[in-house]
Structure 1
Amino acid sequence: MRVGEGAAAVFVLNEERGVYIELLERCRLGEADAFDELVLRYQNPVYNLAYRLLGSHDAARDVVRDTFVRAYRGMQDFPEDARVHTWLYSIAGNLARNVMRDMDGERGVSEKRISVEDEDLLQDAIEQLPGHARIVFVLSTFEGLRYEEIAEAVGCPRGTVKSRMNQARTLLGDMLSPHGVV
């Protein structure tokens, strides 16, 4: 890293955070185009999270829709010190957990498919993780969130996030190693 690169990165992050704070303020003032912009910026990451958690495109689309409905209704309650993506991930994660509970009650283990392709095996294994470990694994692995951000999004201490991540890795290793996928 050259001298000054770190300062430039901090400036970009602070500038980006300022843009999002301004966008949220415009949303709070009821500007429809501001909320549309918020949805455009975050709908794909929220969808990716929901799909990785649920393994269903339809269920993921429902979670995305419901996430932004709740965000719109709760805009006035957005914590000033929070990050937009962790707030939205928190909403989406809670909604996905509700869907997972419903899905787990509807299907038995025998209905889960085992595919020959690694991606399908991984997705199947992720779907079999307990909900608390699944969301931590997906937020870290696929969304690139740090443990502190995950803790904020799911509402638990950082140490709990680490423990759940270790549990997810162990369970995934146990499920995937018989298939030669690790």
Structure 2
Amino acid sequence: MTSTAADVLRLLTVRGETLAVAESLTGGLVAAEITAVSGASKAFVGSVTTYATELKHRLLGVDATLLDQRGAVDPQVAAQMAAGVRKALDADWGIATTGVAGPDTQDGHPVGTVYVAVDGPFAADSDSSGGGKVASLRLNGDRTEIRMESVRSVLALLLKELAGEQTGNERAQDTEQNGGT
């Protein structure tokens, strides 16, 4: 998996851009994966682990009404987390993870329900309302497997956006990631 993190960091460094991470169910694993790559400090500015729902609002600016109505496991929450960490840590790109790793359901969502999000320069009108890209995942496995697949998925989503920005040929494919979120 470090190769994906290395590819992300390479592209960010070449572009002179920075990355911030907001994590919930992954509890710091995304940041750990990124910082395992030598030279990560050239692009990675930091992370915020908002395991408690209230911290998603207080530290990342996720809408309190949204959290009250839908809970923390929601595509809009993921999008707002990514936008919020990007703003809070003054980074070019923000990524986020939220979901249910298990063993129990959360807010009526089954184990394996995960949302990962990317917010970046592609969303010129992006603000704390979350105008970035979100992927909805239904993962199988135990708690550890779900958390690790969430790390892989958010880094892959960011890599896709970075590669798409660089080549400019993936714009049309991104719309299904955004639909309804």
TM-score greater than 0.5 by the shorter chain: no
Greater RCO, 1 or 2 (C-alpha within 8 Å, sep 6+): 2
Q: Which has the higher helix share?
A: 1
Q: Which has the higher strand share?
A: 2
What's the TM-score once normalised by structure 1's chain length? 0.27
Answer with 1 or 2: which has the greater Rg: 1
What's the TM-score once normalised by structure 2's chain length? 0.27
